[in-house]
Amino acid sequence: MTGDYAALLARPDVDAVLLATPPSRHHAMALAALRAGKHVWVEKPLALTAADGRELVAAARAADRVLFVDETFLYDPLVREMKRLIDAGALGGLLHLSFERLGMGRIKRDSNVWWNSAPHDVSILLHLVPQPVVHARLHEHCHLQPGIADMVVGDLELEGGISAHIYLSWLDPEKTARVTVVGRERMLAYEGRFQKRALTLYEYALDRGAGDAGSVIPVARFEGRPIEVPAAAEPLELAAAHFVECVCTGTEPLSSGARSLRVVEVLEAAERGATRGGTAG
């Protein structure tokens, strides 16, 4: 046990460090570790600016070390099944993805809900739909602390016209981590709370030819069925095993710094043009 980070990094028997610190400290601590020749696991987000993220990625490459970002949900077998179904065309052409991450508590003083919660959702979005984000709009609400958003609504448009909606709140009576993927033929609904993880596939059909004179397009069919995925370890355990494997083999992680840099770039671009409101005073 030591409270001296520099002394820890100087130890030859330490090969890797895990950084579970506030986001504001990720860049400096990860950079010091990489320059000391250590592999690094850092909690999301990789950094609070794209420039800092790029510096970390460059440092990892220069040191030939693994830079791993804890985007835990990417290691959930249910998210992997979502990815498989989407890539196989099971939903038809993609139209829209919706993300909700809500609950009470874990209200931070040094960074807002966008930088604390959206990394999960943006990482899932870019994993499921790897097209570039071409437009981003964000509205932040600061109700608890001046200048620190506790509720946000984000709208993203990806290349090809796919839309995404992200709603985050630190003030909600029910805790949820929900993703909905809408295709032209089917939909997927994922609940990511670790004790209640579930994936449901919905079949639907619209009767566009019926009632041409009416104001409503009838829904001819709508039914859901749960997708059963064989039991596996918790996503965090799978992520840890992947980190160790990448350190031992030199393989690039699924949530490498280079890949996670895209997440930081989207977060930064959206916040750069954000509009703000709220009642904190």
pLDDT digits (tens, 9 = 90+) for 189-237: 999 887 788 999 999 988 877 656 567 888 888 899 999 888 667 899 9
Q: What is the 3-state secondary structure (H, E, C) of 138-181?
A: EEEECCCECCECCEEEEEEEECCCCEEEEEEECCCCCCEEEEEE
Tokens 């619209």, located at residue: 206
Beta-carbon contacts of residue 270 (< 8 Å; ≥ 6 apart) = 114, 136, 137, 138, 154, 156
Question: Rounded to whole angstroms, what are the CA distances from 123 to 58, 113, 200, 227, 273?
Answer: 20, 15, 21, 22, 20
What is the rounded CA–CA span in Å between residue 35 and residue 70?
20
pLDDT at 11 over 70: yes
- Predicted pLDDT of residue 68: 98
Question: Rounded to whole angstroms, what are the CA distances from 30 to 66, 110, 218, 259?
Answer: 11, 18, 55, 16
pLDDT at 265 over 70: yes
What is the rounded CA–CA span in Å between residue 147 and residue 133?
26
- Predicted pLDDT of residue 33: 98
What is the rounded CA–CA span in Å between residue 201 and residue 85?
10
How many residues appear in the chain? 281
Mean pLDDT of 245-261: 96
Mean pLDDT of 235-252: 96
What is the rounded CA–CA span in Å between residue 20 and residue 22?
7
What is the rounded CA–CA span in Å between residue 260 and residue 87?
21
Say if residues 81 and 235 touch (Cβ distance below 8 Å): no
What is the rounded CA–CA span in Å between residue 223 and residue 204?
7
What is the rounded CA–CA span in Å between residue 128 and residue 122?
10
Band the pLDDT of 1: cuts 50, 70, 90.
low
Tokens 């030859």, located at residue: 12
CA atoms within 13 A on the CB side of 210: 8
Q: 73-235+269-277, superfamily in CATH?
A: Dihydrodipicolinate Reductase; domain 2 (3.30.360.10)
pLDDT at 174 over 60: yes
- Predicted pLDDT of residue 278: 79
Say if residues 162 and 72 touch (Cβ distance below 8 Å): no
